[in-house]
Structure 1
Amino acid sequence: MWLGVLLALVLGLAVYYWFTARDKEERLPLGDGWWGPGAPPSDTEDQSIRPFKVETSDDEINDLHQRIDRFRWTAPLEDSRFHYGFNSSYLKKVLSYWRNDFDWRKQVELLNQYPHFKTTIEGLDIHFIHVKPAQVPSGRSPEPLMMVHGWPGSFYEFYKIIPLLTDPGSHGLGDQQVFEVICPSIPGYGFSQASSKKGLDSVATARIFYKLMRRLGFQSFYIQGGDWGSLICTNMAQMAPSHVKGLHLNMALVLRNFQTLSLLLGRRFGRFLGFTDRDMELLFPVKEKVFYSIMRESGYLHIQATKPDTVGSALNDSPVGLAAYILEKFSTWTDSSFRDLEDGGLERKFTLDELLTNIMLYWTTGSIVSSQRFYKENMGQGLMAHKHERMKVFVPTGFAAFPSELLHLPEKWVRAKYPRLLSYSYMAAGGHFAAFEEPRLLAQDIRKFVAMVGRQ
């Protein structure tokens, strides 16, 4: 009897969502904003695009070294590995490398291998890199592609994937599909100016980045993102669907009541609910794969969505604290099993040079506080508090499901928000920092998706 009642409940909920949550083609209003200090100027905003170069100095490097030298060390608990956070014994190794072997000047040269620019939008100097292909096949044009990072990442996450997109022929990917790649820094991250006013959220950022693409002369373009980048790109698609040729994501914020019910019933009725065998592997047992995972990894989120300036003040004053706080995410967000390793598995997917370069982009710009405020602006009023979170997306969409992402999203869940889902891929390897960890796999999936859009 209970089985019949359960099935009737599921059927009733399915009917309810059919009639109440069917596709409604809504758009986010474009609007406008001003985020610079004081009141907006009476004259027209400067729309010039200015070359920018990453630089450093002896004073900057000496100050960093002095702060590292003054670090006060705390011994870890025996056999704690990464279960208590960043293991301080391994931190000693990282700091020794950072202090004695890491060459920031060399990394600055590497950062400058791609063209950097700034332009002023809504009162903020917005930083971006813009990489054009050196060669384009005869009779073809490069596809413009904006790639947007998240926290605690940066535009640097895309340095390994850019050549696979702009010069694919040299990397064995074929040369018939070439991209022109634009990677902006979210306002308040890295070299993009931070807002002076409350309220700069993902929608405002999406509008700024849409204006950036139009200022660069693109009438239509592709967009790609994970983490905050996935939400910003989603908002761009909701705001200007006629200009977004396609949206590719490796993470999505998909909040629906039926997901909770699916997780409760999925172990027994997974196939009835649309779960594949791979979905079952990645979602169950729910207690370990979902509940414990979210609880273990979301403490930072509660802090940054409520009082980001408090912890930010400490991190902005201590390069060691900043490194431990951020690098811990590159351990367990890359693979949750890495918490069982003494070194957090950090060097299995990344080099210390790569990891510390990302840290230096936060340290040298003093942007950790403003980057954390993005959580407050987007989540300070609670989940589902914004209209866009309940809106669907009606541009062609591709989704790459990386197996070690913090929460797996089955195709059915993704399609509920993105009805025009053309491509859903179970990726062979990788976690949260897809472009940084598995650039070739992500590049291949982007190319597959764009080819599908082109055949429509």
Structure 2
Amino acid sequence: MGVKCFSITVAVVAVFAYIVYQTLLSPLPVPKINTTTYWGPSSQANRIEKSEVKPFKINYSADVISKLHNRLSEPLNLVEPLENVNFRYGFDKHKLEELVKYWRDEYLPKWDERQNFLNALPQYTTKIQGLNIHFIHTKDQTEKAKHVIPLLLLHGWPGSVREFYEMIPKLTKAKDNIAFVVVAPSLPGYGFSEAAKVPGMNPTEMAVILRNLMISLGYDRFLVQGGDWGSIIGSSLATIFPQNVIGFHSNMCTSGWVSSFFKSFIASFYPSLFVPAEYADFHFPLGEKFSYIMEESGYFHLQATKPDTIGIALTANPVGLLAYILEKFSTWTDMNNRDLIDGGLDKHYTKEALLDNIMIYYLSNSITTSVRLYAEGFGSKHLNLKIDRVPVQVPVGCARFKNDLAHELDWQLITKFPKLIHSTYHANGGHFAAMELPDVLYNDFLQFVKKLNVTA
């Protein structure tokens, strides 16, 4: 009787395990995606689209800048912070007052200079699936390289193409006989790229648009690099279109696989078996890492559920826009910045770089459309694609920067990225690596490209 009961128990457990595996854990085939979905006004869905590439310049009148100056001159009437909380309750009042004054009295008077800087990289727009997509496209100095490779460079939120301005010249300049033709688009609904007029513009749909952009420019095979949403979009692009992607490199690799949580839990008991000792604190202790994510993810829930509400509040208030965005540049660059009176912003970035990014959001009025990506990315339409359970069948490189929001072990990543050929750890840097440490990210990416052997 005991043997019979044992056998039945084993059988039930086996069946349960099989069901769980098939339901939650087994790899899935690439889903069928419509590559021609129209995202413009539904009333114009049947119109023939012209995909002409047009030069683009950022060009705002003195009147627009003057009106912003006047808005920044209004009394702030901010509440005094609690004693010794620094950035732990959010953006510090005194640092905000300092930045608003700098924005108004020092940055805006030299707007022509900043506008010229932003226009120094060649930019264009073209229609893709009903949307006017803005992108940087440069091959400056690439003629000096023996091997020139197209590269799609993807930003995230609350960043913009401004993150890449220090890195792009390095990419286009020949090093070790390699250079890159760079295409750095503003994501749909970000900056100067038009937003979808109908619901459903999730990361996978963005991947389709950006792949179609590259094809329209004549690049049938290209590299992809991205962080934040750029990583998730890049992963989707590599998943769905492996025939177009030479390799995918990210400074925020995430698998999204259900098993990832269980793997990290198991690894926490024996970290030395899964990661070199000097990098264990990138991943552990789990309790500390989980608490940090919980403390810093309030924005996420808000943007994933009511993006237009927060968008309205920020659109109507440039000071609020600055505080909301730059708080992320503080904390996501290094969690310890929460204990600094200035949020560590001056330690990692120039004021000009930070305000350039704010100006792109403000002038393009794109904060609402940018945060909608959270609602679409975690909506049922996108989740039902189960794209995270489809392995990426192209070579992948992952660069971890110590102070980023979170990291995954190779053991966690290998399920989603079975061709993980490049995995690195960097002792410094945070979430916005391209802006904070452009040399380090560039060199990491170049090492990944060399492993691809595309120059052989």
1:69 equivalent to 2:68? Answer: no
Pairs within 5 Å for 1:419-438? 419-438=418-437
Q: Structure 1 pair 50/284, CA: closer, same or farther in 2 (3 Å)? A: same
Looking at structure 1, the residues matched to 195 and 23 of structure 2 have their Cα atoms a distance apart, in angstroms, of: 43
Q: In the TM superposition, what is the alpha-carbon distance from 1:50 to its structure 2 partner?
A: 0.4
Match of 1:132 among 122, 134, 139: 139
The residue aligned with 1:275 is: 275
Letter in 2 for 1:90: K
> 1:180-214: CA deviations, max 9, x gaps?
11100011100001111111111111111111100
Looking at structure 2, the residues matched to 13 and 164 of structure 1 have their Cα atoms a distance apart, in angstroms, of: 50
The residue aligned with 2:388 is: 389
Match of 2:93 among 72, 88, 93: 88
Looking at structure 2, the residues matched to 383 and 84 of structure 1 have their Cα atoms a distance apart, in angstroms, of: 33
8 A contact 1:157–1:436 mirrored in 2: yes
Q: Which moved more, 1:67-76 or 1:341-350?
A: 67-76
Letter in 2 for 1:117: Y
8 A contact 2:126–2:132 mirrored in 1: yes
8 A contact 1:36–1:195 mirrored in 2: yes
Q: In the TM superposition, what is the alpha-carbon distance from 1:265 to its structure 2 partner?
A: 3.6
Letter in 2 for 1:87: D
> 1:245-277: CA deviations, max 9, x gaps?
0111111332334333334343432244x2332
Letter in 1 for 2:163: E
Unaligned runs of 5+ in 2: 1-12
The residue aligned with 2:10 is: none
Letter in 2 for 1:207: V
> 1:374-394: CA deviations, max 9, x gaps?
111111349954321221111
1:296 equivalent to 2:295? Answer: yes
Looking at structure 2, the residues matched to 240 and 259 of structure 1 have their Cα atoms a distance apart, in angstroms, of: 24
Looking at structure 1, the residues matched to 23 and 191 of structure 2 have their Cα atoms a distance apart, in angstroms, of: 45
Match of 1:54 among 52, 58, 72: 58
Letter in 2 for 1:55: N
Pairs within 5 Å for 1:51-450? 51-70=55-74, 71-102=76-107, 103-137=110-144, 140-168=146-174, 174-272=175-273, 274-288=274-288, 290-381=289-380, 384-450=383-449
Looking at structure 2, the residues matched to 227 and 243 of structure 1 have their Cα atoms a distance apart, in angstroms, of: 22
Looking at structure 2, the residues matched to 318 and 155 of structure 1 have their Cα atoms a distance apart, in angstroms, of: 23
8 A contact 1:230–1:249 mirrored in 2: yes
Looking at structure 1, the residues matched to 322 and 316 of structure 2 have their Cα atoms a distance apart, in angstroms, of: 12
Q: Structure 1 pair 18/29, CA: closer, same or farther in 2 (3 Å)? A: closer
Letter in 2 for 1:64: L
Looking at structure 2, the residues matched to 95 and 341 of structure 1 have their Cα atoms a distance apart, in angstroms, of: 19
The residue aligned with 2:4 is: none
Looking at structure 1, the residues matched to 31 and 421 of structure 2 have their Cα atoms a distance apart, in angstroms, of: 20
Unaligned runs of 5+ in 1: 1-8, 169-173
8 A contact 1:306–1:380 mirrored in 2: no
Looking at structure 2, the residues matched to 55 and 33 of structure 1 have their Cα atoms a distance apart, in angstroms, of: 31
Letter in 1 for 2:443: Q
8 A contact 1:167–1:175 mirrored in 2: no
What TM-score do the two structures reach when normalised by structure 1?
0.91
The residue aligned with 1:6 is: none
What TM-score do the two structures reach when normalised by structure 2?
0.91
Q: In the TM superposition, what is the alpha-carbon distance from 1:23 to its structure 2 partner?
A: 5.8
Looking at structure 2, the residues matched to 295 and 349 of structure 1 have their Cα atoms a distance apart, in angstroms, of: 24
Looking at structure 1, the residues matched to 348 and 158 of structure 2 have their Cα atoms a distance apart, in angstroms, of: 16
Looking at structure 1, the residues matched to 30 and 267 of structure 2 have their Cα atoms a distance apart, in angstroms, of: 31
Q: In the TM superposition, what is the alpha-carbon distance from 1:449 to its structure 2 partner?
A: 0.8
Letter in 1 for 2:173: D
8 A contact 1:133–1:179 mirrored in 2: no
Letter in 1 for 2:101: S
Q: Structure 1 pair 430/17, CA: closer, same or farther in 2 (3 Å)? A: farther
Looking at structure 2, the residues matched to 33 and 124 of structure 1 have their Cα atoms a distance apart, in angstroms, of: 11
Looking at structure 2, the residues matched to 175 and 275 of structure 1 have their Cα atoms a distance apart, in angstroms, of: 31
8 A contact 2:38–2:45 mirrored in 1: no
Q: Which moved more, 1:375-384 or 1:18-27?
A: 18-27
Q: In the TM superposition, what is the alpha-carbon distance from 1:38 to its structure 2 partner?
A: 3.0
Percent identical pairs in the alignment equals: 40
Q: In the TM superposition, what is the alpha-carbon distance from 1:279 to its structure 2 partner?
A: 4.3
Q: In the TM superposition, what is the alpha-carbon distance from 1:22 to its structure 2 partner?
A: 6.2
Give RMSD over aligned pairs: 2.4
Looking at structure 2, the residues matched to 334 and 129 of structure 1 have their Cα atoms a distance apart, in angstroms, of: 25
Q: Structure 1 pair 200/19, CA: closer, same or farther in 2 (3 Å)? A: closer
> 1:300-332: CA deviations, max 9, x gaps?
000000001111101001110000000000001
